[in-house]
Structure 1
């Protein structure tokens, strides 16, 4: 027989089981054995649980609760639910089904494409704000969208300043500025639309 001293954690567990045994002396032999076996199995399962195992014996016995509380529960005819082993090994919850893109996502695409030609800059920026709040677009999708939208607006501003310095203005200059402000936003909208289609095909 080994004479090595017990580890501190083993002492805590043995002291708890001893206290539980002393508290349960008025139970029937069958109830007492079932209680002791259940608690011992609980402690072993907690230490070896695949999910969030507990090595600290003090934490385990604290979760069990005072021995007198467990014995009192057995006298009433039922162990507390948290001591039952199936709770330790409950099957993982099934993943939530992926939600399909809704009104907000397609509204954002519309504001970036059609909306850009009716209300340049303002409509695309509003569309990108909608897209940025949506979980259906990846960070990369949003970064590309903002880059194209902001770049388009910046190009329009640069062209406006450039033509303002010229001594004359033509309709072609205004059309070029208009197209510059719309094209990047339209490309951003199409990029987001393609992303939604890819996600839809992947489900």
Structure 2
């Protein structure tokens, strides 16, 4: 009668399996002074390498003895990990960062800023509107930045329009038109300035190691 998860009639381990287990035990002992995470990573990498070589189809690389010889001594692997240099044949493939999704060209973004900053002088309402439409379709700026730019560009224009309406109702002079014109230009220019840092900032994407 036996107790526990193991049985007395369990099949003995093959000699090659014993060699692999002894090697991993020696590697664990050799890396005793390593950082726990680095030690676990080293053990996992080596175990995966052995399993991969043993699962290869045909050839001498399937022989665990040759696989262990190719790995080198446990002490040398632990020393390499201690120096931060994993042997080349044990390095895991780097995880490539996904390529950024294609978006509008930078030319459209520059055109949007140009319409805001300069086009508003010639076409005070049409040019800023066209510029903001181009900018709204760009992924370069966040929704918060776009909303703020819309407020900066449209707010003064709406106030200027209201000023012109009031001047017409109360028989005001042409000064109201000039003030409304300057307010529209100023609002579009400030909106362009608020978006400029997002245009010149360089995006960075995570890279594998």
CA distance in 1 between counterparts of 2:183 and 2:145 reads 21
Number of the residue aligned with 2:131: 127
SS of 1:185's equivalent? helix
Q: Structure 2, unaligned stretches of length 5 or more?
A: 7-15, 17-40, 42-56, 59-88, 205-209
> What is the Cα deviation at residue 108 of structure 1?
0.6
> What is the Cα deviation at residue 165 of structure 1?
1.2
Q: Which runs of 4+ in 1 moved over 4 A?
A: 94-97
> What is the Cα deviation at residue 152 of structure 1?
1.8
Q: Structure 1, unaligned stretches of length 5 or more?
A: 7-32, 34-49, 51-73, 76-85
What does 1:3-18 correspond to in 2, within 5 Å? 3-4=3-4
Number of the residue aligned with 2:186: 183
CA RMSD of aligned residues (A): 4.4
**Normalising by the residue count of structure 1, what TM-score does the alignment of the two structures yield?**
0.50
- 2:113 pairs with 1:140: no
With over 3 angstroms needed to count, the CA separation of the structure-2 counterparts of 1:164 and 1:93, relative to structure 1, is same
SS of 2:95's equivalent? coil
What does 1:142-157 correspond to in 2, within 5 Å? 142-157=146-161
With over 3 angstroms needed to count, the CA separation of the structure-2 counterparts of 1:2 and 1:153, relative to structure 1, is farther
Structure with a larger share of its residues in helix: 1
> What is the Cα deviation at residue 95 of structure 1?
6.2
CA distance in 2 between counterparts of 1:161 and 1:5 reads 89
With over 3 angstroms needed to count, the CA separation of the structure-2 counterparts of 1:5 and 1:143, relative to structure 1, is same
Number of the residue aligned with 1:91: 94
SS of 2:141's equivalent? coil
CA distance in 2 between counterparts of 1:105 and 1:3 reads 73
**Normalising by the residue count of structure 2, what TM-score does the alignment of the two structures yield?**
0.49
CA distance in 2 between counterparts of 1:2 and 1:91 reads 48
- 2:196 pairs with 1:193: yes
With over 3 angstroms needed to count, the CA separation of the structure-2 counterparts of 1:190 and 1:2, relative to structure 1, is farther
CA distance in 2 between counterparts of 1:3 and 1:201 reads 61
Q: Note the alpha carbon deviations across 1:12-56, whole angstroms, 9 max, x for none.
A: xxxxxxxxxxxxxxxxxxxxx9xxxxxxxxxxxxxxxx9xxxxxx
Q: Note the alpha carbon deviations across 1:155-189, whole angstroms, 9 max, x for none.
A: 122112211211x3422121011112221111101
Number of the residue aligned with 2:45: none
What does 1:58-97 correspond to in 2, within 5 Å? 90-94=93-97, 96=99
User: In structure 1, which of residues 159, 163, 171 is the aligned counterpart of residue 163 of structure 2?
Assistant: 159
